[in-house]
Chains A and B, each alone.
Chain A
Amino acid sequence: MNRFDYVRAGSVAEAVAAAAEPGAAYLAAGTNLLDLMKGGLTRPGRLVDVTHLPGLDRIEHLPDGGVRIGALVRNSDLAYDAGFAKAHPAVAEALLSGASAQLRNAATVAGNLLQRTRCPYFYDPASACNKRDPGAGCDARGGETRLHAVLGWSEHCIATHPSDFCVPLVSLDAVLEIEGRAGAREVPLEALYRLPDDRPDRETVLEPGDLIVALRLPPQAAAFAGHSRYLKVRDRTSYAFAVVSVAASLRLDGGGIGEARIALGGVALKPWRARAAEAVLAGAEPSEANFRAAADAALTDARPSGDNAFKIELARRLIVRTLARAAAGTPDRMPALPASAFSGDALHA
């Protein structure tokens, strides 16, 4: 690990000023940052510790029915907040399907959103990577591409974003509250992430010094609580990143679908909102044929980035299965294996 200056910020303003300097990075739990620093993949000259900032670790249920989640709330605290999990079950399920219990206990929600890709070529200093070293090339092309993108990728980068949490959040229109050198602003979570294009080293729209202080879900998000699921296909039952994941939420209106929200994980460098699929389902019956039509619409623009064409069909099938589970209703209790596509919920009720 490189040497660095350690600064413990006493206020948000102090943190922003300290982190705006070139080479500075924020430190929250550090579960991803320290891993990257131990591998020599990132070498910040200064770490600005924000974990002692007051007031950023609260979950506030807002009078309008929305919820405001402080940036330093730990992943497990949010997933196990009874009021939050009841209103936003797919978000809680996604959180509990990510990482391990130890990591969820430490990692913060804002850190989760800002974690880096787990592309093995990004992590291997001996491999060429345009994200790590702009212009170097991309050794993932023609390599092992099981965890790589089928949507929104470019010749320069085929990595995926690894977060589970951000997938249902994007489907539910989460908004970030950001403090920066120019003051406070809000950014929709979906607009936080950049697609790779020809600059995969520019991962988000954040400017030097920008600090995420909270994320909010609007009151409309809770309208899906009764029919909201997250399913994740991975190479082992637990503690693995998604090959493909799906967040699906339905607002049923009489016998039909009033509104649908769908987003995909593991398929692109950002959580992928499937608006075309949502449009197919608006006003439709919750039938398998309509779920298939929605799945086809979601993957219209998909193309393999290597030996991973199977992910396109896998994503279609997982959309159909997640929609069917959402239509059947959110289970009363969190499944024993959160987000498992294979264990029937009835077995673990």
Chain B
Amino acid sequence: MTFHLTLTVNGESRAIDLDDPRVTLLDLLRERLGLTGSKKGCDRGQCGACTVLVNGRRVNACLALAVSLDGAEILTIEGLARGEQLHPVQAAFIEHDGFQCGFCTPGQIMSAVGLIREGHAGDDPERIREGMSGNLCRCGAYIGITQAVLEAQARLSAEQGEAA
């Protein structure tokens, strides 16, 4: 049986035919849509390397069945920059050395984007560490990650202030 679904992936509407309901969102992105930025670390929801936004909220793509998400809007690391212009969270990760090997970085960045959108962290590093606890970094770049999220949060809220 084939399942027909429509997803909006990084702003583009995609009609997808799935021959198998077992395909997770992560496997759909990586193996069928060629979007390999989202990483498969543990594949069990423990490491956060697969974090993407679904309908604007960060989730583990490895623990969601694609077939169940029919109609959803997906944002992955590939859809974050505007052309050559990095998203403020991406720029802040580079500026603050928020990574070493880089494997967890797409998930860290998407999680940080989600955290900032959720609006509960403020400028408190303790709240940011707690809010980012679903993303593991085996290189231990946590200090840089926390600084990057703090700065991106400040920059984004300043921009929002200007826009308002």
Chain A interface residues (CB < 8 Å from chain B): 1, 3-6, 8, 27, 29-31, 34-35, 38-39, 47, 49, 51-52, 76, 80, 99-103, 105-106, 237-239, 334, 336-338, 343, 348
Contacts and interface: CB of A to CB of B under 8 A. Distances in A.
B130 A103 contact: no
A102 B118 contact: no
A102 B124 CA distance: 20
Given A3-B22, A38-B44, A238-B133, A101 B58 contact: yes
Contact of B48 (A29, A38, A102, A343): A102
Contacts of A4: 21-22
Contacts of B48: 100, 102
Contacts of B130: 237-238, 336-338
A72 to B, nearest CB: 12
Contact of B111 (A3, A34, A47, A102): A102
Interface string B119-154: 010001011011111110000000000000000000
Contact of A6 (B3, B43, B58): B3
A34 B62 CA distance: 9
Nearest to A340: B130
Interface of B: 3, 20-22, 24, 43-45, 48, 51, 54, 57-60, 62-65, 67-68, 70, 111, 114-115, 118, 120, 124, 126-127, 129-135
A1 B67 CA distance: 15
A101 B63 contact: no
Contacts of B68: 8, 27, 30, 49, 51
A6 B67 contact: yes
A79 to B, nearest CB: 10
B63 A31 contact: yes
A119 B62 CA distance: 22
30 contacts: A27-B68, A29-B63, A29-B64, A31-B45, A35-B44, A35-B45, A35-B63, A38-B43, A49-B67, A49-B68, A52-B70, A80-B118, A100-B45, A100-B135, A101-B58, A101-B132, A101-B133, A101-B134, A102-B45, A102-B51, A102-B111, A105-B58, A105-B114, A106-B57, A237-B130, A238-B129, A239-B134, A336-B124, A337-B126, A343-B126
